[in-house]
Chain A
């Protein structure tokens, strides 16, 4: 009788564990930067329990100054990360076996900004000027645009802040519309004091945030990844409809991560990021966009074979 009881208990425990294992698969997701409204949809999906509803357990981790999201992916600390398209493809050129499973952003937020006082009104005025550009990630696209226009500019690599631009150390700054552009505004420069050059207006409307996994992971956790993407879309849709709530969630995440935060900036960011994703729920990467980025990057990797679109973009939905 006693032996039977133990057996029964063991059986129950085993079956419960098994079913949990079968039903809720764990995924670790890392966005490609620190907590901010750029990733609001994922926080909302987690906060609202959309991931749990989809039968997955998602842990969101964030990169730091010393460790980036690519590192998380390669080291296996993260199953899925978000990256700019250009960064994703760049890493593919570098030999990382990653694939894009969903393209969330459909537009470019990249832009140049200059103070009107420096008399820069057209792209041609960039000639001979000091142009700030981030060291990490996606400098290829702005550089491609400037190169296309055959302008000699003095590129100044920047780590992260807009202070050098504010203090007049550089004439032009490469910024994200949803982020640094507003940081400049929130540092006291008025919009009418700035000249802006959206890369999308010059034929470089290259989509940005997309979801990347290693080929292996795609094979192993296909269902979970699909559930993650679906639930994330749901998160973004909910965020679009409940912006105040979303902002509170974002600010709280930033506070927990000890990152300076203010509502004014995050509100701006949320609005712009949502605009860039329009239509929300469409996660296809368009081939022409891929081709354009491929062409831009190809120059840096003349020895590498071409990357096939269908190998790179493996839509999960």
Chain B
């Protein structure tokens, strides 16, 4: 899947959220499950240990009664010492759990019996046997089973031992002090014992298993192992010797707690071994201890298994989710790709491109409807555009023609009158649009009178150019009949103002120069005053007085002013496109700059002045688009001498 697809983004987001949720839920579940398992294991271990304890006590306590009863009956004088051996035989015969029983008397207890008197009955391979024990090599009263209860005057469970017969049967002896009445005194007589096999008890303990390798073990009062899964431990090692061997003081501490009869559930770590939990408790009768041990890892094994399953299920579920979401998202988003393809085709101009079918009534359908609408609108728009474009093109070509016509109306061959050396003239017109509203014109009224004019029609474009054309045409025809500027202006004004419904007007300056004597008559209709450049370089705006543009008031009388031009004097006329040329900061070029520029270059010829000005304005506006036509006209009077 590509990284930048919608499905990828949706799926990765869903995966992130799902995984986070899973980790959260899993942690909580794990924590609680762990606690529950730990608690359940503890209860289980305690129950197991206490169950064994109860069953062992159940075995031992009835057996304890046997020597106790024997002791009591001997004390009461029920038996003659010689009948004891039969009593002991009966005891062994009747108690399958008892392997041997004896009644060992204090040295010289019966004078006629000598130093040793110890009737003993035992279970042999083929029956019950009996013997009188005690000899120089078997001084029984120095044996633990005799000496300890004799000195402590309490019943005593011996440490376990292997039976003398070498049968490898683990035995223990229970010994009870026996008293006798002599001369009405209660005197210590000896010790009554039973020997029992511990096999049944060790089997009971060994049969316990908890989790995989958890087990129970039994240790004696001295900490020696009586049962242990590791057989080499039994009767060889004690909890204390193992504490030394393994360098585990904690084990010794546990051993000491056991000796004190404490019961405890706790965890412990042995060097180099995994963490284990142990419950230990004491047998009341023998004061041996029973413990149930299991590794923590195994306690949580089921949880670990479960965890693995849950994680596997989650991963599988996640994969399934990814698959499903991919399918769903792809199905939902597949029209988008087709729409995109369609949009590309539409962009190429094929508005009839078929759109993907959408069967669902959702956002995708809205998108399709929007597409359909877009196609329709685009088709319509393009059709309109085509139409208007062709119309525009038509207009543009017409406008180009109009512009050509307009420009052709204006004289643009310089010098205009090579045969008239008295006067020289140069002019330029630069329209802001295809067709402009500025105009200039010059012509000879008769052989001596040279008429020149400059004007600026209000507005721009075709209406202005038409108005300009009308003005120019009228000027030529009026100038044929009227010979003074004021008269020409008056008639021109009247003609333009007539039926001027669109209220257009034109500022206009008109001059008539007498080529013979340099006398200049001029009239102005609201136009910028031209600059008079005397041949000595003195440059001034010409006196104009106030006036209104042509075409506004048909009755207006325009005044006529005059000036005497000396040979070499020049006139620079212009439209407001020059003085109001704008730069990027919307500042006008202004009359002052204009005057200064002209004054600096007063010696330049007509054409040079206009070229300089054009250059100057170009520099000033610095490429800023101009909205007005720029028209300039320079005229120089050369006097009569030019004729020669």
- Report which A residues bind B (CB closer than 8 A): 65-66, 130, 135, 156-159, 161, 163-164, 166-170, 185-188, 190, 258, 260-265, 267
Given contacts A188-B222, A188-B255, contact A164 B236 (CB under 8 A): no
Select from chain B the residue with minimum beta-carbon distance to A251: B236
Pick the contact of B144: A161, A190, A264 (CB < 8 A): A161
| Inter-chain contacts of B148 with A (CB < 8 A) | 163-164, 167, 169
- Stretch of B64-72, B202-210, B239-247, B602-610 on the interface side: B239-247
The answer to whether A263 and B245 have CB atoms under 8 Å apart is: yes
Is B486 interfacial (CB 8 A cutoff)?
no
CB distance from A65 to the nearest CB of B (A): 8
| Inter-chain contacts of B292 with A (CB < 8 A) | none
The answer to whether B152 and A169 have CB atoms under 8 Å apart is: yes
The answer to whether B147 and A187 have CB atoms under 8 Å apart is: no
Given contacts A135-B142, A164-B148, A188-B259, contact A263 B241 (CB under 8 A): yes
The answer to whether A164 and B151 have CB atoms under 8 Å apart is: yes
The answer to whether A164 and B144 have CB atoms under 8 Å apart is: yes
Select from chain A the residue with minimum beta-carbon distance to B156: A167
List residues of B (146-161) whose CB comes within 8 Å of A's CBs: 147-148, 151-152, 156, 159
Is B235 interfacial (CB 8 A cutoff)?
yes
The answer to whether B144 and A262 have CB atoms under 8 Å apart is: no
Q: 22 A–B contact pairs at CB < 8 A?
A: A130-B151, A158-B147, A159-B142, A159-B147, A163-B159, A164-B147, A164-B151, A167-B156, A169-B148, A186-B223, A187-B240, A188-B252, A190-B256, A258-B162, A260-B235, A261-B236, A262-B238, A264-B242, A264-B243, A264-B245, A265-B241, A267-B244
* A55 CA / B607 CA spacing, docked (Å): 146
Is B237 interfacial (CB 8 A cutoff)?
yes
Is B1 interfacial (CB 8 A cutoff)?
no
CB distance from A141 to the nearest CB of B (A): 20
| Inter-chain contacts of A260 with B (CB < 8 A) | 224, 235-236
| Inter-chain contacts of B241 with A (CB < 8 A) | 186, 262-265
* A190 CA / B255 CA spacing, docked (Å): 12
Top 4 A-B pairs, shortest CB-CB distance: A264-B244, A264-B241, A169-B151, A262-B241
* A265 CA / B243 CA spacing, docked (Å): 11
Pick the contact of A187: B142, B222, B245 (CB < 8 A): B222
- Report which B residues bind A (CB closer than 8 A): 137, 139, 142-144, 147-148, 151-152, 156, 159, 162, 221-224, 235-238, 240-245, 252, 255-256, 259
Given contacts A168-B152, A169-B147, contact A262 B222 (CB under 8 A): no
The answer to whether B240 and A188 have CB atoms under 8 Å apart is: yes
Instruction: Tell me the dominant secondary structure on chain A's binding face.
Output: loop
Pick the contact of B222: A163, A190, A258 (CB < 8 A): A163
* A211 CA / B159 CA spacing, docked (Å): 35
The answer to whether B151 and A187 have CB atoms under 8 Å apart is: no
| Inter-chain contacts of A161 with B (CB < 8 A) | 144, 159
Select from chain A the residue with minimum beta-carbon distance to B161: A260
The answer to whether B143 and A159 have CB atoms under 8 Å apart is: yes
| Inter-chain contacts of B244 with A (CB < 8 A) | 186, 264, 267
| Inter-chain contacts of B242 with A (CB < 8 A) | 262, 264
The answer to whether B240 and A185 have CB atoms under 8 Å apart is: yes
The answer to whether B144 and A66 have CB atoms under 8 Å apart is: no
Excluding A187-B222, A262-B238, 6 further A-B contacts by CB distance (< 8 Å) are A159-B139, A167-B148, A169-B152, A186-B223, A262-B237, A263-B241
CB distance from B255 to the nearest CB of A (A): 5
* A198 CA / B120 CA spacing, docked (Å): 41
The answer to whether A156 and B151 have CB atoms under 8 Å apart is: yes
* A130 CA / B142 CA spacing, docked (Å): 15
Q: Looking at A65, A156, A166, A262, which has the most chain B CB atoms within 10 Å of its CB?
A: A262
* A187 CA / B235 CA spacing, docked (Å): 13
| Inter-chain contacts of A258 with B (CB < 8 A) | 162
Pick the contact of B240: A167, A186, A267 (CB < 8 A): A186
| Inter-chain contacts of B243 with A (CB < 8 A) | 264
| Inter-chain contacts of A263 with B (CB < 8 A) | 241, 245
Given contacts A135-B142, A158-B142, contact A187 B238 (CB under 8 A): yes
| Inter-chain contacts of A168 with B (CB < 8 A) | 152
* A264 CA / B237 CA spacing, docked (Å): 9
Q: Looking at B137, B223, B237, B255, which has the most chain A CB atoms within 10 Å of its CB?
A: B237
